[in-house]
Amino acid sequence: MAMTAAALDLCRALVRCQSVTPEDGGALGILEAALKHAGFATQRIRFSEPGTPDIDNLYARIGTGAPFLVFAGHTDVVPAGDAAKWRFDPFAGEVAEGAVWGRGTADMKGGVAAFAAAARAYVAQHRSGKGSIGFLITGDEEGPAINGTRKLLRWAYEKGERFDHCIVGEPTSWHVLGDTLKIGRRGSLNGTLLVEGRQGHAAYPERADNPIPKLMALLDALNAAPLDKGTPRFEPSNLEIVSVDVGNPAFNVIPAQARARFNVRFNDRWTPETLAAEFCGRLDSAGMKFTLSLEPCNAPAFLTTPDSFTKLVTDAVERKTGRRPALSTSGGTSDARFIRAYCPVVEFGGIGATAHMVDEHVAIADIEALTEIYAAILEDYL
Ligand SMILES: [Zn+2]
């Protein structure tokens, strides 16, 4: 079967698996069979942790030499929501109007299918070339991401696996296929600010101590100036107050406590530690007592400095689409934040416009072109 037709078939087969995190629905088995059939050594690894569901993961490799290019992705999907709101059954992999429809077509069964089909085609012709091709596929990206890529990477490392480069197949394209390649991600940090007062009657404020005006002053101080103006490869960092909580149902009571929660998306000018110091400095300047708690950060900002590998990927995209992708660090966090500790990583895939939405779909032409791009990358790399 032609490589691009195989990608479409595999994508549809994966969509028919109801792999809503933490269910696998048979998705990893289908992918594993396809890779095994092509000569990959495959392993299924199940990770557990108290309080979270057990999750299946798949590791596959062909070849023993370097360079070792590994593809990373996930087969789990977010829930479909009300299936009646969809034009087609979200788990049927329907083909209509030049597109495949269904949950996960864009994020990211289409990307997984494209890379697997490209790798199979490459292997059929050249085995693993002079190097190795690998797959790190998890069923826990859309969920808590505890029993997924992070543990799979550690497991592979302890087995002696050493990757030279990684491509994450998340749908990075914005308007058209090939317009965006991600070479980094901003970090994310969550914080809670608590102010204590003294509860009392609203008619006798002199006997109480209202924490709300203090919280407002503290939030003003926290938000007084932008964190930075951006860095050469990153947008400015942003602090967003996402909730102010008092939980007071009464009009005649001054509450005892007020708290606010905030999220910071930060660039490579900051680490969680330097941000913590900055926040404390700003809050101290308001001259009142507060408690600041920052959640442990597992998502620092990172950048894969453009080099010959990013050029190889960029050139392949341009050759197939006529478009030179922008090197971007925008958007949320992804599993690439874990991978970057092991090898340089870039993210490139289809158009994410309908990811997580009703009527998620991906153009067949885009799955085909993406498969050809991945095939070109394999040719050039190995
Ligand atoms: Zn995804």
- Taking residue 241's Cβ as centre, other Cβ atoms within 10 Å add up to 14
SS3 146: coil
* Nearest one of 134, 74, 44 to 343, comparing CA atoms: 134
Distance separating the N- and C-terminal Cα atoms of the chain: 23
Distance 289 CA to ligand 1 centre (A): 42
* Nearest one of 245, 173, 237, 243 to 211, comparing CA atoms: 245
Going by pLDDT thresholds of 50, 70 and 90, the confidence category of residue 84 is: very high
pLDDT tens-digit readout, 86-131: 999 999 999 999 999 999 999 999 999 999 999 999 999 998 778 9
Going by pLDDT thresholds of 50, 70 and 90, the confidence category of residue 1 is: low
> Residue written as tokens 């308001």?
286
**Cβ–Cβ < 8 Å for 222, 288:** no
Distance 285 CA to ligand 1 centre (A): 41
Tokens for 221, please give them: 């101080």
Tokens for 49, please give them: 């942790």
Sign of the dihedral through C-alpha 324, 327, 333, 335: positive
SS3 132: strand
- Percentage of the chain modeled with pLDDT above 70: 100
Instruction: Considering only residues 135 and 296, tell me which one the structure prediction assigns the higher pLDDT.
Output: 135
By mean pLDDT, which of 36-40, 140-144, 184-188, 287-291 is the weakest?
140-144
pLDDT of residue 333: 86
Tell me, yes or no, if 359 is annotated catalytic: no
Question: Which ranges of the chain does DSSP label H, i.e. alpha helix?
Answer: 3-15, 27-37, 110-126, 149-158, 211-222, 272-284, 308-321, 336-339, 364-381
Distance 148 CA to ligand 1 centre (A): 13
Going by pLDDT thresholds of 50, 70 and 90, the confidence category of residue 145 is: confident
Q: Which residues of 130-168 are buried (b: 16+ CB within 10 A; e: fewer)?
A: ebbbbbbbbbbbbbebbbbbbbbbebbeeeebebebbbb
Give Cβ neighbours of residue 170 (< 8 Å, ≥ 6 apart).
73, 107, 108, 111, 182, 334, 336, 347, 349, 352
pLDDT of residue 107: 95
Tell me, yes or no, if 209 is annotated catalytic: no
Q: Is the pLDDT of residue 332 over 90?
A: no
pLDDT of residue 138: 96
**Cβ–Cβ < 8 Å for 55, 148:** yes
Tokens for 328, please give them: 């971007």
pLDDT tens-digit readout, 298-323: 888 999 999 999 999 999 999 999 99
Across the range 223-242, mean pLDDT stands at 96
Output the pTM of the full model.
Answer: 0.89
Q: Give the active site residue among 56, 107, 141, 268.
A: 141
**Cβ–Cβ < 8 Å for 362, 105:** yes
Distance 140 CA to ligand 1 centre (A): 10
Distance 141 CA to ligand 1 centre (A): 7
Distance 72 CA to ligand 1 centre (A): 10
pLDDT of residue 366: 97
- CA–CA dist 230, 323 (Å, integer): 26
Q: Give the active site residue among 32, 56, 76, 142.
A: 76
Distance 139 CA to ligand 1 centre (A): 11
pLDDT of residue 261: 97
Q: Is the pLDDT of residue 193 over 90?
A: yes
Angle at 144 between CA 140 and CA 146, to 5 degrees: 70
Distance 252 CA to ligand 1 centre (A): 48
Mean of pLDDT over the chain: 96
Complete DSSP assignment for 249-304:
--SSEE-SEEEEEEEEEE-TT--HHHHHHHHHHHHHTTTS--EEEEPPPS---EE-
